[in-house]
């Protein structure tokens, strides 16, 4: 049989084991790990999740950019040299020439800027002429076959001419890195990828290479690029 004191405590909802004068407070929810090991586990999990999401985001950027064909009016069409591509560079060059010429005929821009080594300029000029681009509207520059070097030279020329916008012709998988690089240099870049040729397919090898290059660009290269074109 319960004692009278315990019965009174129960009826008054009083904890008989609580010290006199002590107040009862509800337990606060625990928002943070309760031990150093739990905190380390949570931090490691967060790092792993971020490390997995960054490549996924870069892959999405490469795939989405490859599907965009921006044919807004600009001041120049820039045909990047296909010297560093997987597959047949001459087939890729032909595809880029045909695409740049089609943009010119549509009135996207009044001139075509060709990058790459001098040995390719005469052939590219002739191919553009066959496709309907007069030699007077073709500008060639002696550049390398990478992404940053040629775009930096083009940006310097555009700055001298007070130009700000350009339509850049390259392969679909390369479009995301081109867009980011040109924008960092200050170019109002409109990328129009080729629609046929040896490098239009988004193969796992090509996409993987471009994802790695884009990650390297975001982590290192972009912070070293000056803003050359100032609108």
Number of structural domains found in the chain: 1
Strand-strand pairing, 165-169 and 112-114: unpaired
Task: Count CB atoms within 10 A of the CB of residue 108.
Answer: 20
Does residue 95 lie in a domain region?
A: yes
Tens-digit pLDDT string for the chain (231 aa): 555 555 554 555 545 445 555 555 555 555 555 567 666 766 666 666 565 667 788 888 999 999 999 999 999 999 998 876 666 778 889 999 999 999 999 999 999 999 998 988 999 999 999 999 999 999 999 998 789 999 999 999 999 999 999 999 999 999 999 999 999 999 999 999 998 877 788 888 888 899 999 999 999 999 999 999 987
Does residue 116 lie in a domain region?
A: yes
Which tens digits make up the pLDDT trace of 150-200?
Answer: 999 999 999 999 999 999 999 999 999 999 999 999 999 999 999 887 778
Average pLDDT, the chain: 84
| Residues 155, 115: Cα–Cα separation, whole Å | 12
| Residues 66, 191: Cα–Cα separation, whole Å | 9
Does residue 155 lie in a domain region?
A: yes
Could you tell me the pTM of the whole model?
Answer: 0.77
Residue 215 is part of which domain span? Answer: 65-224
- Contact present, 124 and 114 (Cβ < 8 Å): yes
- Residues 6 or more apart whose CB falls under 8 angstroms from that of 192 comprise 69, 70, 71, 99, 103, 108, 167, 168, 169
Does residue 34 lie in a domain region?
A: no
Find the CATH number of the domain harbouring 92. 3.40.50
| Residues 104, 122: Cα–Cα separation, whole Å | 19
Does residue 10 lie in a domain region?
A: no
Does residue 33 lie in a domain region?
A: no
181, containing H or E segment: helix 175-184
Does residue 90 lie in a domain region?
A: yes
Does residue 42 lie in a domain region?
A: no
The Cα-based distances of 179 to 4, 76, 158, 174, 186 in angstroms read 83, 15, 16, 9, 11
């Amino acid at each position: 049989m319960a004692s009278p004191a315990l019965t009174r405590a129960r009826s008054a909802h009083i904890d008989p084991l609580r010290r006199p004068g002590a107040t009862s407070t509800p337990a606060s929810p625990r928002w943070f790990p309760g031990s150093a090991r739990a905190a380390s586990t949570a931090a490691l999990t967060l790092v792993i999740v971020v490390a997995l999401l960054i490549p996924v985001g870069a892959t999405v950027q490469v795939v989405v950019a490859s599907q965009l064909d921006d044919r807004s009016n600009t001041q120049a069409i820039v045909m990047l040299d296909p010297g560093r591509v997987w597959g047949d560079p001459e087939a890729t060059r032909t595809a880029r020439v045909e695409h740049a010429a089609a943009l010119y005929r549509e009135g996207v821009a009044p001139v075509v800027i060709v990058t790459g080594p001098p040995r390719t300029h005469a052939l590219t000029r002739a191919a553009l002429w066959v496709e309907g681009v007069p030699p007077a509207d073709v500008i060639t520059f002696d550049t390398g076959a990478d992404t940053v070097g040629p775009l930096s030279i083009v940006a310097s020329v555009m700055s001298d001419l007070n130009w700000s916008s350009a339509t850049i012709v390259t392969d679909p998988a390369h479009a995301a890195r081109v867009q980011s690089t040109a924008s960092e240099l200050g170019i109002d870049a409109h990328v129009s990828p080729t629609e046929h040729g040896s490098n239009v397919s988004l193969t796992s090898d090509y996409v993987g290479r471009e994802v790695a290059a884009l990650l390297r660009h975001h982590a290192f290269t972009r912070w070293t690029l000056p803003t050359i074109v100032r609108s």
